[in-house]
Amino acid sequence: DAGVIQSPRHEVTEMGQEVTLRCKPISGHDYLFWYRQTMMRGLELLIYFNNNVPIDDSGMPEDRFSAKMPNASFSNLKIQPSEPRDSAVYFCASSLTGVVTDTQYFGPGTRLTVL
Amino acid sequence: GNSVTQMEGPVTLSEEAFLTINCTYTATGYPSLFWYVQYPGEGLQLLLKATKADDKGSNKGFEATYRKETTSFHLEKGSVQVSDSAVYFCALLNQAGTALIFGKGTTLSVSS
């Protein structure tokens, strides 16, 4: 298996632009997680899905952020409009079952820079 | 709610030195505890875990024991290598048992 795939790996955009980050989880994994990593706040869970349904989006910072999972093999995280404080590394992770003690497999991350 | 605190870094060691990275937690009950590692330019990988009190997780020479008396899950390795240079994250389940809560990470730098 190729593991969790994220694209793009790097994104540089200007303030006010829409940003779309993409994730393909490991096939057969029922859970998908979006995290944001910054120096100041560390690794934060933004939202997670079970069987394509958002379960907990309490970590989404504000309405500018949205995430969807239209099918079992794809999810996207959108920021519209983007702001410089959104600059961070965004990770997607997936796990096999609903048991959270199950290992989460992380993608390589997307490094977002908003100018 | 549940939370985790780990020591601030960076930790700088010479090759073959002994490593300890402290992690303490606050939780209701006895949630599973984890250590994840992030190598430069990569995503996090599970290093080890312990699912109940007094369990010891181990992997790649790293160990951590789930100690309920001290609410700790310190990461140790007897002899570090340059290749162990990475960021290490302690984590536990949230109170609902539905997601992981990560510490802020501790950067380890090992020199030869």
Q: What is the per-residue pLDDT across A37-82, written as a single tens digit (0 to 9) for each? A: 998 888 889 999 999 999 889 899 889 999 999 999 999 999 999 9
Residues of B within 8 A of A42 (CB-CB) are 102-105
SS (H, E, C) chain A: CCCCEEECCEEEECCCCCEEEEEECCCCCCEEEEEEEECCCEEEEEEEEECCEEEECCCCCCCCEEEEEEECCEEEEEECCCCHHHCEEEEEEEECCCCCCCCCEECCCEEEEEC
For residue A102, pLDDT over 80 is answered with no
**Short-list B102, B61, B110, B58, CA closest to A106:** B102
Other CB atoms within 10 Å distance of the CB of residue A115? 10
pLDDT for res A98: 60
Do residues A104 and A3 make contact, with C-beta atoms less than 8 angstroms apart? no
Q: Which residues contact A53 (CB under 8 A, 6 or more apart)?
A: A69
Do residues A44 and A111 make contact, with C-beta atoms less than 8 angstroms apart? no
CA distance A97 to chain B (A): 11
pLDDT confidence tier of residue A103, bands split at 50, 70 and 90? confident
pLDDT tens sequence across B54-99: 999 999 999 999 999 999 999 999 999 999 999 999 999 877 777 7
**In chain A, which residue's Cα lies nearest the Cα of B47?**
A103
Q: Which two tokens stand for residue A49?
A: 């899905």
pLDDT for res A39: 84
Q: Which two tokens stand for residue B80?
A: 């570090």
CA distance A61 to chain B (A): 16
pLDDT for res A101: 62
Do residues A57 and A46 make contact, with C-beta atoms less than 8 angstroms apart? yes
Tell me the torsion sign for CA atoms B82, B84, A46, B23: negative
Chain A residues in contact with chain B using a Cβ-Cβ cutoff of 8 Å: 4, 33, 41-43, 45, 48, 55-56, 91, 93, 100-101, 103-104, 106-109
pLDDT confidence tier of residue A104, bands split at 50, 70 and 90? confident
Q: Where are the beta strands (DSSP E) in B1-112?
A: 3-6, 11-14, 19-21, 23-26, 33-38, 44-50, 56-59, 62-65, 75-77, 86-93, 100-102, 106-111
Partner residue facing B45 (CB), from A43, A45, A106: A106
- Separation of alpha carbons B94 and A100, rounded Å: 10
Contact assignment for A100 to B98 by CB distance below 8 Å:
yes
Residues of B within 8 A of A9 (CB-CB) are none
